[in-house]
Amino acid sequence: MESIPFYFLAALAVLAALGVVVMRDPVYSALALAVVLTALAGLYVLLSAPFLAAAQVMIYAGAILILFVFVIMLLSPGREGDAPRGALKWQRPLAVIFGGALVAQLALVLLMTILPTGRGLYTPEYLAQIGSTQAVGAALFTDYLLPFEITSLLLLVAMVGVIVLAKKKS
Amino acid sequence: MPVDYLPILVMIAIVTAFAVIALTLSAMTGPRRPNPTKLSPYESGMPPFGSARRRFSIKYYLTAVLFILFDIEIIFFYPWAVLFRDLGWFGLSAMGTFMLVLLIGYVYVWRKGGFEWD
């Protein structure tokens, strides 16, 4: 009974991810990606991480997807079939080779990794007691304080970069 | 607790059912007498021209990236806000450092005209 939402969200995520690849129109691919990211947010909720779910919806499904759509509009691609055939004639065999290599790599890692089965510190009961967002905050301002401050530098670099790129005098 | 999200599930179910029922009923019972004006995207608005899939100005891209960056900044406020009293001055100074760096970026973007449309 408890696993029904998980299987539903997992199947939705996988199907939508297939849609991202299969759709011929890049705008439809972006919409399918929105479904993937929202389904992942649902999975985070099932993992007792509602803060992560909210961040997922706000940052990924909201902001980053908007960026994707803008990049699509910026490049103005037609449908996938409109591209002249044979322009990238090595694309198909190379995609098969590298895609296969990636799948083999993932399979190898999954087979070789022994997944920990014990319960860590952040059990659902513990999170329910102190609160998910509080747990994130406590970790962020103690063990992960330096990465947190460095994040601000990363954002600063991104700000400067986008201004330099977009405000170039043409 | 995932069980607490049951109301959201119920709401999604009701919303979906309402949309499906409303669309099906109106498609089944409503009369259908289309004409070119009715089928245009904005029946009472301006006549559409060109294709919707044309290239957009890079200015939108600039706005979108800046939105994401400040969006990420705001997300970090939530874990701080719920622990505001526990973290005290230490949390305030940590958050202050974080914000100071981003304030430099904000001033930079402002001075460079990143918030101007032209």
ipTM value of the model?
0.70
A155 vs B1: CB contact, 8 Å cut-off?
no
Sorting pLDDT into bands at 50, 70 and 90, what band is B20?
A: very high
Domain ranges of chain B: 2-111
Q: Which residues of A touch B87 (CB under 8 A)?
A: 137, 141
Q: What is the pLDDT of residues B35-79, one digit of tens each?
A: 887 888 787 877 777 776 667 777 788 888 888 888 888 888 888
Instruction: Compute the distance between CA of residue A14 and CA of residue A35 in angstroms, rounded to an integer.
Output: 10
Q: Which residue has the tokens 């995609």?
A: A95
Q: Which residues of B touch A58 (CB under 8 A)?
A: 71, 75
What is the mean predicted confidence (pLDDT) over B93-104? Answer: 91
Restricting to A residues 104-143, those with a Cβ less than 8 Å away from any Cβ of B are 124, 128, 131, 133-134, 136-138, 140-141
* Residue-level pLDDT at A79: 61
* Residue-level pLDDT at B15: 97
* Residue-level pLDDT at A63: 85
* Residue-level pLDDT at A38: 92
CATH class of B2-111: mainly alpha
* Residue-level pLDDT at A120: 76
Is the CB of residue B23 less than 8 Å away from at least one CB of chain A? no
* Residue-level pLDDT at B25: 94
**What pTM was computed for the model?**
0.75
What would you measure as the largest C-alpha separation in chain A, in angstroms? 60
Instruction: Compute the distance between CA of residue A130 and CA of residue A108 in angstroms, rounded to an integer.
Output: 38
Query: Which of A151, A152, A166 lies closest to B61 in CB terms?
Result: A166
Sorting pLDDT into bands at 50, 70 and 90, what band is B21?
A: very high
* Residue-level pLDDT at A82: 57
What is the mean predicted confidence (pLDDT) over B26-40? Answer: 84
- Most B CBs within 10 Å, among A73, A132, A144, A154, to test the B interface: A73
- Most A CBs within 10 Å, among B4, B16, B63, B68, to test the A interface: B68
Q: Which comes out higher in pLDDT, residue A6 or B114?
A: A6
Q: Which amino acid is at A31?
A: L
Q: What angle do CA A103, A87, A25 make, to 5 degrees?
A: 65
* Residue-level pLDDT at A83: 57
Dig out the tokens for B71 from the structure.
């969006």
Instruction: Compute the distance between CA of residue A168 and CA of residue A121 in angstroms, rounded to an integer.
Output: 50
Instruction: Compute the distance between CA of residue A82 and CA of residue A85 in angstroms, rounded to an integer.
Output: 8
* Residue-level pLDDT at A77: 62
Q: Which residues of A touch B108 (CB under 8 A)?
A: 159-160, 163
A166 vs B58: CB contact, 8 Å cut-off?
yes
* Residue-level pLDDT at B67: 86
Q: Which residue has the tokens 């101007």?
A: B116
Low-confidence ranges of chain A (pLDDT < 50): none
Say if CB B76 and CB A131 are below 8 A apart: no
Position B117 pLDDT exceeds 70: yes
Q: Rounded to the nearest 5°, which phi and psi values hold at A90?
A: -90, -5
Q: What is the CATH number of domain A1-80?
A: 1.20.120.1200
HEC secondary structure over chain A: CCHHHHHHHHHHHHHHHHHHHHCCCHHHHHHHHHHHHHHHHHHHHHCCCHHHHHHHHHHHHHHHHHHHHHHHHHHCCCCHHHCCCCCCCCHHHHHHHHHHHHHHHHHHHHHHCCCCCCCCCCCHHHHHHHCHHHHHHHHHCCCCHHHHHHHHHHHHHHHHHHHHHHCCCC
Say if CB B60 and CB A73 are below 8 A apart: yes
**Local structure of residue B56 (DSSP, 8 states):** P
Dig out the tokens for A147 from the structure.
């990465």
* Residue-level pLDDT at B24: 94
